[in-house]
Amino acid sequence: MSARPIEFPAAGLSDGVVTLRLIADSDLPAIVAAVSDPEIPRYTRVPEPYGEQEARRWQRLATSGIASGTDLPTLIVGAEGGELLGAVALHGLDPENGRCSAGYWVAAAARGRGVARRGLGLLCRYGFGELAVKRVELWIEPANLASLRVAEAAGFTREGLLRSYMQIGGSQAPQQRRTSASPSGLRDRSQAPQQRRTSASPSGLRDRSRRDMLMYSLLPQDLG
């Protein structure tokens, strides 16, 4: 079974508190402002620094992923006011095996309100119901306590530790970075300095760190 273009609802997905919708040009300034918070690149693959060029590139990648049926990035906005609260996505959609991974971030002003849990739940339900997904995975650094709480509140089950599993963090200019981070959310990291590398990756990012990740999974029956 090959991936097909995703026909995401034009009205988005909503639980009455938050709404998930696709990225529009008018969202780019708010995305840049939210992602410029240093807490977000600490635990995600979001580049640092982050400007309009990076936001437009993300929008293009989102459009391409939806068209190819492999990725579904969405924004989390307020159901009433439409203000940007964060983002949640399904990545690596594999219809043949029924698997994908998820990721999310939350704007600073919206944290502590259950935004990530609500958005993650909405998108996973959609994946199970409409995209032939049978298993959603999250990879979270053990120190990322807020993201661990989100995963468990959303019904995910912890399966084990993946050692040196993923590279997180990076910058478009040489600088010192710190150790420890995660791709799924926000939040808390060690202050130990890391020696700067002198070579750049093909993407232009430097000083990337390999991180241990906790594996979490969600199955359709886990949603209740």
Burial class (CB in 10 A: 0-12, 13-18, 19+), 10: exposed
Burial class (CB in 10 A: 0-12, 13-18, 19+), 123: buried
DSSP-assigned beta bridge partners for residue 214: 140, 161
Which of 3.40.50.970, 1.10.260.40, 3.30.365.10, 3.40.630.30 would CATH assign to domain 13-223? 3.40.630.30
Question: How much is the pTM?
Answer: 0.82
**Terminus-to-terminus CA distance in the chain, angstroms?**
28
| Predicted local distance difference test score (pLDDT) of residue 166 | 86
pLDDT along the chain (224 residues), means of 10: 87 98 98 93 86 96 97 98 98 96 97 97 98 96 93 97 82 31 32 32 47 96 89
| Predicted local distance difference test score (pLDDT) of residue 183 | 31
| Predicted local distance difference test score (pLDDT) of residue 188 | 33
| Predicted local distance difference test score (pLDDT) of residue 169 | 62
C-alpha dist (Å) from residue 81 to 9, 16, 77, 118: 19, 11, 8, 16
